[in-house]
Copies of this chain bind each other. A is one copy, B any other.
Amino acid sequence: MNTFGRNFRITTFGESHGVAVGVVIDGCPAGMRLDEKDIQPVLDRRRPGTSPLTSPRQEKDRIEILSGIFEGVTTGTPIAMIVRNEDTRPGDYDDQKEVFRPGHADFTYQEKYGIRDYRGGGRSSGRETLGRVAAGAVAMQILAKNGIIITGTILEVHGKKTDEEITREILSAKDRGDSVGGIVEIVASGCPTGLGDPVFGKLDALIAGAMMGIGAVKGVEIGDGFVASQKCGSENNDQMTADGFKSNHAGGILGGISTGQDIVVRIAVKPTPSIAIVQQTRSREGEVVDISTGGRHDPCIVPRIVPVAEAMLALVLVDCLLEQAKYR
């Protein structure tokens, strides 16, 4: 299932070291100005090779729009966008052919499909998210017109909370050939009330599914999240005033429907599984082997997940805006 959304539907395709990765957006409203220059800067944010903290893989990641735009304006037909893969060095990945990297999808893809494109993770590579981010950039234009702004922030890396400490943790992990995880918070402000669709299209359920579907994400919480489980109702309820709420423990969602307050989401990101430290794994043939997957890998995927998480939240919100428009 490579399609996401009910109204603003995106279908992503492509492998890390195949010909191209891309996305088709189906359901984008007509009459919106859009060209490559609107998408490219957002892709550049998730691009590797831009800082000592991320993978040195160098890719220009040039987006090309194939359809759905006429004279710089969306026509209501599907918008297909691709990015050709350039920095593919197949030789680099020969050692992944026979062994399953711990913490990666190698084993499960092999079990499920009986075949896998082992080069750089193939379809399970973070590179697949290029399509999501490109589609998210379109979604964010629609949100912006509706006064909705999405902001992602790194809250923690390896338990540390300040920029300085975070940088130190990442560089330290890199030095040790290890990796670290962290927590990202994504906030949508300016949302109208009424987004989300009980009982199986609840806004928080859609967000949770969208976030947990990002590789490396292992937890999602809305508003006070897990902390709410330790509170009393008298503390956790958001009391109301004449024109709103006194607090936002709920994270902007009640009964699966947006309240008009900020929507607040946090996600837990696991440490990158590719590490230089030697670990035990097994080969396709069942032999136990040692593996070190150092190389062009991120010691911490958290910074690069921020734009992906923002994109996914944007996609969910646009989908809900269109859903709600049906009943207005």
Q: Which residues of A contact B (CB under 8 A)?
A: 1-4, 6-7, 9, 11-15, 18-22, 24, 26-27, 29-31, 64-70, 73, 75-80, 82, 100, 102-105, 107-109, 111-117, 122-124, 128, 156, 158-159, 173, 178-183, 193-194, 196-202, 204-213, 215, 218-243, 246, 250-251, 253-260, 268-275, 277, 279-282, 286-288, 322-328
Across the interface, do A178 and B232 meet the contact criterion of CB distance under 8 Å?
yes
Across the interface, do B222 and A219 meet the contact criterion of CB distance under 8 Å?
yes
Given contacts A75-B113, A208-B211, A272-B233, contact A26 B3 (CB under 8 A): yes
Taken together as a complex, chains A and B put the C-alpha atoms of A182 and B181 apart, in Å, by 25
Taken together as a complex, chains A and B put the C-alpha atoms of A65 and B22 apart, in Å, by 12
B-side contacts of A211, CB under 8 Å: 208
Taken together as a complex, chains A and B put the C-alpha atoms of A116 and B254 apart, in Å, by 14
Across the interface, do B215 and A205 meet the contact criterion of CB distance under 8 Å?
no
Given contacts A241-B288, A277-B234, contact A13 B112 (CB under 8 A): no
Taken together as a complex, chains A and B put the C-alpha atoms of A114 and B287 apart, in Å, by 44
Given contacts A13-B66, A219-B219, contact A102 B279 (CB under 8 A): no
B-side contacts of A240, CB under 8 Å: 100, 102, 107, 280-282, 288
Top 5 A-B residue pairs of the complex, sorted by shortest distance between their CB atoms: A105-B255, A209-B209, A1-B201, A219-B221, A205-B213
Across the interface, do A103 and B219 meet the contact criterion of CB distance under 8 Å?
no
Across the interface, do B219 and A13 meet the contact criterion of CB distance under 8 Å?
no
Taken together as a complex, chains A and B put the C-alpha atoms of A277 and B232 apart, in Å, by 11
Given contacts A205-B212, A240-B100, A322-B326, contact A115 B218 (CB under 8 A): no
Given contacts A1-B26, A236-B270, A259-B108, contact A21 B67 (CB under 8 A): yes
- Tell me how far the C-beta of A144 lies from the nearest C-beta in chain B, rounded to whole angstroms: 18
A-B contact pairs, 26 of them (CB 8 A): A3-B3, A7-B326, A13-B66, A15-B68, A19-B66, A20-B80, A22-B80, A27-B326, A30-B114, A30-B327, A31-B115, A75-B113, A105-B198, A108-B256, A108-B259, A112-B193, A112-B196, A124-B255, A218-B221, A231-B271, A233-B272, A240-B282, A242-B286, A242-B287, A242-B288, A246-B280
